[in-house]
Amino acid sequence: MSMTNGNLRTRAARAIAQVTSEIERNIETGTWQPGYKLPTERDLEMQFGVARNTLRKGLKRLESEGRIIRQVGRGSFVAGAAGVNTSEAAGLLSRLLGSSPSEVMEVRLQMEPWAASLAATRATAGDLAHLRACVMRADTAPDIETFEHWDGELHIAIVAAAKNELLSGLYGAINAVRHQPEWMSLKKRTVTPCRRDVYQDQHGAIVDALSERNAARAAQLVREHLSEVRRNLMGEDTRL
Q: How far lies 63's CA from each of 23, 86, 220, in Å?
A: 12, 10, 42
215-234 helix and 101-122 helix, angle to the nearest 10 degrees = 160
Nearest to 127 by CA among 100, 103, 156: 156
Question: For the chain, what percent of residues have pLDDT higher than 70?
Answer: 82
Q: What is the pLDDT of residue 63?
A: 87
Q: What is the pLDDT of residue 122?
A: 96
d(CA 168, CA 185): 26
Q: What is the pLDDT of residue 240?
A: 38
- Does residue 84 carry a pLDDT above 90? no
- Does residue 123 carry a pLDDT above 90? yes
Domains located in the chain, CATH noted: 2-97 (1.10.10.10), 101-234 (1.20.120.530)
Residue 7 confidence class, pLDDT cut points 50, 70, 90:
low
Q: What is the pLDDT of residue 197?
A: 94
- Does residue 41 carry a pLDDT above 90? no
Q: What is the pTM of this model?
A: 0.62
Convert the pLDDT of each residue in 160-210 to its tens digit: 999 998 888 788 777 777 666 677 677 778 888 999 999 999 999 999 999
Residue 80 confidence class, pLDDT cut points 50, 70, 90:
low
Q: What is the pLDDT of residue 85?
A: 46
Q: What is the pLDDT of residue 93?
A: 56
Nearest to 93 by CA among 32, 167, 170, 35: 35
Q: What is the pLDDT of residue 228?
A: 94
